Amino acid sequence: MIENWYAFALALMSPRFVTVETSFEHLAQGSHPGHRQFNVLTDSDIQDMTNMRNGGMTWKAIGLVYGLSMDAARRRILRFAESRERFMCDEMQTLQTGT
C-alpha cells in the first residue's frame, strides 16, 4: 500500500510529466525520473579523447563517441591537460630540490 503513495508522490513531484504507471516502473528499477547517471571516464579514456583531439576530431565528434556534450568533452580534455601539466611541474620541482 505504501508503494502506491510513493508512486503517486513521485508522479506529482517529478520535474517533468510522469504518469503513475511510469512512476511504478521507476520505483521497480530503483531510480526516479530526474535521476542523472554521470559518465565515468578513466584517465586512459581521457587520454584517448586527447589523442582524438590532437588527430583533428571536433569537440562534438569526441563527445558523441563518449556520450558527452561538446562542452563536457572539451572541459574534460582541458582539465586533464591542466592536471598533467601540474603533475609535471611538481615532478620537476622535486627533481630540482633533490627530495
Do residues 80 and 50 touch, judged by C-beta distance below 8 A? yes
Do residues 33 and 20 touch, judged by C-beta distance below 8 A? no
Q: What is the pLDDT of residues 1-48, one digit of tens each?
A: 566 656 666 666 665 666 767 766 766 666 555 555 566 788 888 999
End-to-end CA distance of the chain, in Å? 66
The pTM score is 0.55
